[in-house]
Amino acid sequence: MNRRTPRGGHTQTGRSLIGDQGLAPGNMEPIIAGRDLRKSWGATLVLEHADFLLHAGDKVALVGPNGSGKSTLFRLLAGETTPDLGDLVLKPGLRYGYLPQVPNVPPETVVRDVLSAPSPEAQRIEADLAGLEAWMARPDAWDAADASARMARYESLHVARGAARSQSVIVNDPILNDLGVGEELLDQRFGSLSGGEKSKVLTARALANAKEKDVLLLDEPTNHMDVDTIETIEAFLQEIDAAVLLASHDKFLLDAIADKVIEIDRLRTLEYVGNYTDYRVQRDAIARAREAQRHRHQAELKRQLAIIEEFKSRKVYEQVLSRKLRVEQMRRETPEPPPSAPRAFRLSFRTGASGPGVVRLEGVAKSHGGRRLFADVDLELAKGDKVGLVGPNGAGKTTLLEVLIGRQEADAGSVFRGKNLKIGYFAQEAEELDFSRTLLEEISSVRNPPPSQAWARGLLGRFWFRGDAVHSRVGQLSGGERARLALAKFIAQDYDLLVLDEPTNHLDIESQEIVAAALRTYPGMLLVVSHNRSFLNEVANKIAVIAHRRLAVFQGTFKDSWAAAKMAEFMAVQQKPRYRVLRVVKDWETGTAYHGGDMIALNGAETQAFLRLLRWAEANGRVERFEA
């Protein structure tokens, strides 16, 4: 196995990591093994005594709260950094795809070059060839006993390099269809792309040629993706034979993919068998058992101390000494603590004083930049309605929200809002925040006159902002911290209608669950845009789907509503609609390019990849649909 030697570490040769971790000799050798890993960034310790194994074909969810070290572990496995101590062993010639959470591509790089960059396998082969060529240049090279073997390896590496280079170029891979990567992106600089476009390019690079890879290392692959694309990634990962190590805030995805969970808790890694839901059940059971064990231990310790006092009063000093020794042993043998409890914040949404109201859209249409986003939209929200709004990226979800609350005017149709109805709007990526203010100034801005500092500090404290942190600038916060601050501002006021645009962005699963629980008990009306299926399933009682420039509303939870929406989409395809091309669309699966004015007629034999391409092209104004 290839061994990554730690800086100042203690790599030990001749030691079996498999045997050390208690596996039976007949078990399959792992493709990745970590033993007693330690990693810190400056003075911050991230991992310590971390052990884990990854075998061929394993589908593993990597979980833990934000900041627990998940991205650090991915970077270790991808070779972007090395452990301070411990052993990290990879199968020789390990072929992997890697998606980092934070893009690791220089901004001036052309996208075509990103999609043609040498794979980790090709880079390894080049390094091996360079090493052998340096050996061949030595005058005594042919005197070595293994000279013939080295030359044979040199020739085989040349053959392998050709194959690795061809697999590195993915500019014609069908995965580009699935993720909606347009041909015009190829000649743009990576730094000029939007967050969603960067995610799609890097995800395509990680997933391409998956049949030729041993493992995919995916750190938040669903960031910036719409529901259709997330389901495409989910189906892709279910079908491949490669091992997968996956971090995600989408519980549906983790449940569908994982057969094992690795949790990072208190700097260490803990393994659980099963998917994410199984892990939560096991973790809760372990927490209850260890808490009960701790109570028993404390009760017994208290009893022993009482016995000591009793013996002292009776002057039975031999017994006192014996009991003291027992107490000292009990204090040394403290039971293992339960799993860490997630950091919680208190969240509740309150309604205004105006009472129940109604919001209604009738025949609403809106265009942007000369492109029709939607038309003939009818939507009504009344007391008890909690509506989740979904649809492809670019279909106009945020625009529809802003028309509904009055930030944008409709091109056609009417918008009715109940008299005195108080509407709260949570903008995507916490755009309502003033990055130049301190946290105290920002939270105080919600009331006029400003509240007392004690009130502002109290509210911030509920969301983990305490001490000197309240004097930090909003612009210095991480994405998750900004999301918590925006929620803190939101609950400081009373609203009859909550309109939320991606409220769970940057929040870990436990924080998402707190938001979902608060929205479930909120007595007012709710309209929320989200691509997080588990969050929508917990919150919404209706799902509104925006697609094909129309809006359709389905009753029930997300699972029920999405199934109905998919059936409606299937029936529409069966009717064989036609599409007129407005801007160039390339089918990466076949290499066919469709240009402005072309007509695409469906015949029912199209692949799912091509139908996904059409949905993406329609949402982005590249084609317009005509019913047959």
Q: Residue 544: what pLDDT?
A: 92
Q: What are the sequence ranges of the domains in the chain?
A: 2-107+201-266, 279-332, 359-559, 575-626
Which percentage of the chain shows pLDDT scores above 90?
Answer: 29
pTM: 0.78
The mean pLDDT of 108-112, rounded to a whole number, is 89
**How many of the other CB atoms lie within 10 Å of CB of 415?**
16
Name every residue whose Cβ is closer than 8 Å to that of residue 452 and which is 6 or more positions away in sequence. none
Is the pLDDT confidence value at 499 over 90? yes
The mean pLDDT of 210-218, rounded to a whole number, is 90
Cβ(533)–Cβ(227) below 8 Å: yes
Q: Residue 4: what pLDDT?
A: 46
* CA nearest to 78, candidates 194, 236, 247: 247
Q: Residue 547: what pLDDT?
A: 82
Q: Residue 48: what pLDDT?
A: 93
Please give, one letter per residue, the 3-state secondary structure of 41-96. Answer: ECCEEEEEEEEEEECCCCEEEEECCCCCCHHHHHHHHCCCCCCCEEEEEECCCCCE
Name every residue whose Cβ is closer than 8 Å to that of residue 622 and which is 6 or more positions away in sequence. 182, 581, 582, 583, 584, 585
Is the pLDDT confidence value at 571 over 60? no
Superfamily for the 2-107+201-266 domain: P-loop containing nucleotide triphosphate hydrolases (3.40.50.300)
Cβ(440)–Cβ(453) below 8 Å: yes
Is the pLDDT confidence value at 582 over 70? yes
pLDDT band at 280 (very low <50, low <70, confident <90, very high): very high
The mean pLDDT of 121-148, rounded to a whole number, is 80
Q: Residue 561: what pLDDT?
A: 80
Token look-up 């799993």 returns 339
Q: Residue 569: what pLDDT?
A: 66
Secondary element (H or E) of residue 321: helix 317-332
Instruction: Answer yes or no: same fold for 2-107+201-266 and 359-559.
Output: yes
* CA nearest to 577, candidates 543, 549, 536: 549
Is the pLDDT confidence value at 432 over 90? no
Q: Distance (Å, rounded) from C-alpha 491 to C-alpha 495? A: 9
Token look-up 């694309």 returns 229
What's the token pair of residue 487? 């929620």
Task: Write the pLDDT tens digit of every residue in 444-457.
Answer: 988 878 888 888 88
Is the pLDDT confidence value at 531 over 50? yes
Q: Residue 575: what pLDDT?
A: 63
Is the pLDDT confidence value at 628 over 70? no
150-164, 345-359, 559-573: which is most confident: 150-164
Out of 144-158, 224-238, 491-505, 571-585, pick the least confident. 571-585
Superfamily for the 359-559 domain: P-loop containing nucleotide triphosphate hydrolases (3.40.50.300)
What's the token pair of residue 33? 């093994």
Name every residue whose Cβ is closer than 8 Å to that of residue 617 and which is 6 or more positions away in sequence. 180, 579, 585, 623
pLDDT band at 8 (very low <50, low <70, confident <90, very high): very low
Q: Residue 573: what pLDDT?
A: 53
Q: Residue 216: what pLDDT?
A: 95
